[in-house]
Every structure is written in structure tokens, then in C-alpha cells.
Amino acid sequence: MKIIIRIAIFLFFLTPHDISAQAKIWTLEECIDYAVANNIGLQRQMLQTEAAEVNLLKAKMDILPSLNFGSDARLGFGRSIDPVTNLITFKQNLSNSFSLSSTIQLFNGFATLNTISANKFMVKAGLETDKVTRNTLIINILGAYYQVLYARGLENAAKMQLDLSEKQLFRIQKTVETGRESVSRQFEMESRVSEDRLSYTIARNSTSQAVTTLKQMLQLEPGTEFDILMPELENTFITDRSFDTDSVYNIASETLPRLKAINYELMAARRQVSVSKGYLAPRLSVGGALFTGYYKVISEGVPDQDSYSTQLKNNNSQALFLSLNVPIFNNYSGSRNVKLARIRRDDASLRLELEKNSLYTEIENACLDFNRGKDEYTAAVANLEYNRKSFEAVEKKFEAGLVDVTDYSAAITTLFRAETEALRTRLQLLIRRLTIEFYSTGEYEAVINN
């Protein structure tokens, strides 16, 4: 079809006013790669996952014994106790002590092990949430990209309509100069050209707005020149395949990260219930400590005292201890934590069911829209072909003077609508197909490669 071929040519080559000499031409893949690498929202989500990994490491370290070293130095005045004789003294003294202690938890109701398990699930949930955020960003970029394609298609169709009107105006002007046409006919055609120029201006501004929206979504630096590379839409394959809702959902429920993320959160919430119960159990810990110190009276007339190193060696002491802590009453805090953990677990379970229902509804609508969209696209193409033939007939009659400008304007307007409708239904069908393929894979690479 000539009209479709002409639209395709305009889509492949941008007009001079659309590209500045300095503008970088971006493909869809480049837009997506840049957004994935630089989007602030995605980077913030990845930081949340890093925080979950830090929490997991902390939970693992809680299994190990603690080790602490302490030291203090003191200058005493007035009443104090001589650590050597344990007698009260009023002499000035200098003391320095050291301690090394270690404690390990033997039993705490398995709270530590369950915390590790919960944090592992939270890390997995974070990784899946990263994918959800990334895929959502990519779908938004894809929608904005195709919005630019549609806007530019309308702009090019409006430009073609203006070119046709200007061609007829030029012909009429020549015939008016030779006296074969009346001046009123020229005025009518000039009005038509003016209307088409307005439509073209509006379409061009709509394209500029669509490009700006995509640029803002990419979060490019202010002042960056930006435009997109127009793909070969006519070579894009439109499949005749129909999609079944249940088949797509069965695949999506196993592959999409949005369900996996909530399911991991549910598993973590179940472990948190066990953690809360563990804190109600007795806690048993064992530890040991080493102590040593130095003491010196610094008043006059005091006999010689042992050296610093000798005192540190002689004053050495050790201790082992076993600690048992049995929770009896803690102002309802333990039972409260258990109940809150159960509430969070039940909420995660409900969120998972709600997300499954929402996903099924989305897939069902996507499949129905795609199956209906094929019929709409077929009808739009047939309508375009019919209107192309009809316009060619009206154009010949107009040039022969058999129809007036009003009929010619109605024909060209009808053709324009048919062209834009064919473009809309094709782009819409492509987006719906890619959406279903995304549901079937859960990864954005499938969207890019198509």
C-alpha cells in the first residue's frame, strides 16, 4: 500500500527540524540500558537490598562469641581502698587495670538461627524486588518510547496531508493565473492548507512533548540533546497467535519476580514468628574473663613498690561464668512481639493472594486486549486501503473540477484518520504482545530483543 510505505519512509528518516546536529540518537535498547544503570529509584531499591545483606551478616555473626577488651587509668585523692592490702587509705595513688572478657550464647530458643533464616529470605526478597523495580522502569520506558513513535507517526501523517494540500493549492494557483479556476476556489484551498498546517503544528508539538517525557524519564542531565532512532515498524512481525490466559498465568506465576518477592517475604515473616517465640524461652550463656592491674602510692615516704610489669603479672586473675536468664514477666513485650509477628505473617500471606489475583486480572485483560487488537488492526488496515482508493478517486475528480474543496477536504481528513488509526492499532498490538511475552519470561531482555 502506497500510503503505508510513505508513512514507513517518514518513520525511518526524521525530518530536519526534528534532529539537531548535536543530538544523540538513542535506540530503545540504549534508553533501557541507560535507565537501568542510572535511575535513582532503582539505585535506592538496590541500597535496600544491600541493607538486607548487612542484616544477614550481622545475624550470622551473632553465633560467634563476643570478645571485649577494657582498660582504665585512675589518679586517686582522699579516701580510697588499697587493692594490695584492701585497707582504707588517704594517700594519693595511681592505678591502671586491664580486662579481657568473652561470652557465647548457648541457647536462646533458636532465635539466632531463625533470625539468620529470616534474613536470608529477606535478601532473596530484596533481589526479586530489584528485578520488579527494574522491570517496571523498563515497561515505563517502553511505553514512553512507543508513545514517541505514535506521536511522530501522527506528525508525519499530518505532514503528508499538508504536502498534499499544498500541492493542490499550487495547482489551483496556476489554473487561477490562466483563468481556468475562480479565485474563490483558491481561497477555499488556502483555508484547507491553513487548517492542515495547524494540525501539523499541533502534531509536531505533541511529538516534542512525547520526546521530552521520555527524556525526563531517563533522568538525563539538563540541556542534553536527545532524540530516538525510529525502528522499522513495517518489518515488525505481527503474530497471528492467540494467547490463553491460564497458560500465560501458569508461566508467569512461576517466573515473575513480583510474586517471588512477596513469597520470600512471607517465608521471612514465618521465621520471624519463631524468632519472637524464641525470645520467650530461657537464655543460657557461658563466658570467661581475665583481669590484671597496677597500683602505686605516689605520696612521699612510701617504701619501694613492685614494678609495673611485675604487678601486671602478679595481679592476674581469671573467671568463668554461666548465666541463665528466664523471662517471667516483661510488661507484655514478649507476647506483644509474637502477636505482631503473626499479624505481619498473615498480612504477607494476604498480600501474596492479592498479588496473584491482580496478576491474573492483568494477564486476562492483556490476552483479551491482544486478541481483540488483532481484529482491530486487520480492520484498520482494510479501512486504510479502502480510504486510499477512495481518496485517489476524489483527488482525480478534484483536479478535473468535478468536486469542490469541501469534498476534497473531507476525503483527505478521512484518509488521515485511517492512516493514524492503522498506526495506532499496530503500535498498540506490538505493545500488548511484548507485555504478554514479558509476563511469560519475567525478564526485560525478552522485551528488548523483540
For 268-316, the pLDDT digits (tens) are 999 999 999 999 999 999 999 999 999 888 876 667 788 888 888 888 8
Phi-psi region of 312 (alpha: psi -120 to 50; beta: other; left: phi over 0): alpha
11: nearest Cα among 422, 390, 450 = 422
User: Would you call 280 helix, strand, or coil by DSSP?
Assistant: coil
Residue 285 makes CB contacts below 8 A (sequence gap 6+) with 103, 104, 105, 106, 322, 323, 325
| Cβ atoms within 10 Å of 52's Cβ, excluding its own | 20
Report the residue count for the chain: 450
352: nearest Cα among 263, 432, 271 = 263
Q: How far apart are CA 8 and CA 23, in angstroms?
A: 22
Using 70 as the pLDDT threshold, list the residues of the chain that sit under it.
Answer: 1-23, 84, 232-240, 300-302, 442-450
| Cβ atoms within 10 Å of 310's Cβ, excluding its own | 11
Residue ranges and CATH numbers for the domains of the chain are 2-448 (1.20.1600.10)
Question: According to the model, what pLDDT value does residue 449 have?
Answer: 59
Q: How far apart are CA 322 and CA 71, in angstroms?
A: 24
63: nearest Cα among 11, 17, 116, 24 = 116
Question: According to the model, what pLDDT value does residue 7 have?
Answer: 38
For 196-247, the pLDDT digits (tens) are 899 999 999 999 999 999 999 999 888 888 888 877 666 555 666 778 889 8
Bridge-based pairing state of the strands 283-297 and 317-325: antiparallel
Question: According to the model, what pLDDT value does residue 83 have?
Answer: 73
Q: Which helix (H) or strand (E) holds 100?
A: strand 93-107
**Is 60 within 8 Å of 90 (Cβ atoms)?**
no
